[in-house]
Amino acid sequence: MADTKVFDETSTERQPHDLNETTLWKDFLSLIKVGIVNSNAITTFTGIWLALYFSGKGFLANIDIVLFTLIGSSLVIAGSCAINNYYDRDIDHLMERTKERPTVTGKMYPLQALWVGISLLTIGLIFMLATTITATIISLVGVVTYVFLYTMWSKRLYTINTVIGSVSGAVPPLIGWAAVDADLSVIAWVLFLIMFIWQPPHFLALAMRRTEEYRAANIPMLPVVHGFDVTKRQIMIWIACLLPLPLYLYQLGNGFVIFATVLNIVWFAIGLKGFKNKELEMKWATKMFIYSINYLTILFVSMVLFTIV
């Protein structure tokens, strides 16, 4: 174990704190929340791919747009996440999954983290400007929603913070589509809706597993304020809202519609199993969380595959 430090909020002095040894690169990846960046790159790419497919444009012929969009959107997301870490450094030490972020351990000064975020955000938007104005504006909407409406406003005040944050998490496929075709089609908006509706059950399941940590950080997540019963009902309602959406993607073929519908039904069925068993609530939340992660990746990758086969 290394003898590292934690920032005091009122000075640049550091306090001792035992943490695992990390590298500068690992700290950077933690700062930008690389897992979020990577998962959003998948949904952005799907938006790009489907826009090219339905507009009859070639992938290789538009590889510049593909690269500008993937790099630009990833940098925008990374920058937003870094700013989120800068802002939340006063509460991140209270939560197990965030206590070793460099803004908490003192391996990165707060202003360093802020400027890294602003720099990545600025470079990302420049890359996005090489695509379309529409894609750039949507990227900005995502930034404003995540940084200001979610991180700085609703996260610490309202249980609806999850829904507000879902707007920013839902824009990547819309960004990808708009970078190729600024005239957003119904399919593009369905991709947005899938991402928007997917997030509350995903994050509410996580909140159930981390309820005491959120309580300690004084973050009013739904299970903290209203308990598990209300949270579980809302999770099921959100999943139910996903059920009809594959029908609007019929242009991807009957095979995809059936496949996506099965994915939705399985998720709903997993939720029903053990729904009323209070003794297994943590196990239930864990299953729902894990399935939600796999669901999103499988669904968006399948959209691409069904246009190839």
Q: What phi and psi values does residue 275 have, to the nearest 5 degrees?
A: -60, -40
pLDDT at 7 > cutoff 50: no
Reported as a single tens digit per residue, the pLDDT across 194-249 is 999 999 999 999 999 999 999 999 999 999 999 999 999 999 999 999 999 999 99
pLDDT at 170 > cutoff 70: yes
Distance CA 300, CA 173 (A): 10
pLDDT at 16 > cutoff 70: no
Q: Which of 19-23, 125-129, 236-240, 251-255 has the lowest mean pLDDT?
A: 19-23
pLDDT at 77 > cutoff 70: yes
pTM greater than the 0.85 cutoff:
yes
What does R_g of the chain's alpha carbons equal in angstroms? 20
Range list of β-strands (E), the chain: 2-7, 14-19
pLDDT at 19 > cutoff 80: no
Predicted pLDDT of residue 274? 83
Predicted pLDDT of residue 20? 58
Pure H helices in 56-171: 63-87, 102-105, 110-129, 133-143, 161-170
pLDDT at 17 > cutoff 70: no
Q: Which of 23-27, 84-88, 295-299 has the lowest mean pLDDT?
A: 23-27
As a whole number, the mean pLDDT across the chain is: 92
Predicted pLDDT of residue 22? 76
Q: Which CATH superfamily is domain 1-183 in?
A: UbiA prenyltransferase (1.10.357.140)
Distances (CA, A) of 141 to 50, 104, 222: 22, 28, 25
Distance CA 231, CA 89 (A): 27
- The rounded percent of the chain whose pLDDT value lies above 90 is 86
Reported as a single tens digit per residue, the pLDDT across 172-181 is 999 999 999 9
Domain coordinates in residue numbering, the chain = 1-183, 185-309
- β-partners of residue 44 are none
Q: Which of 18-22, 98-102, 117-121 has the lowest mean pLDDT?
A: 18-22
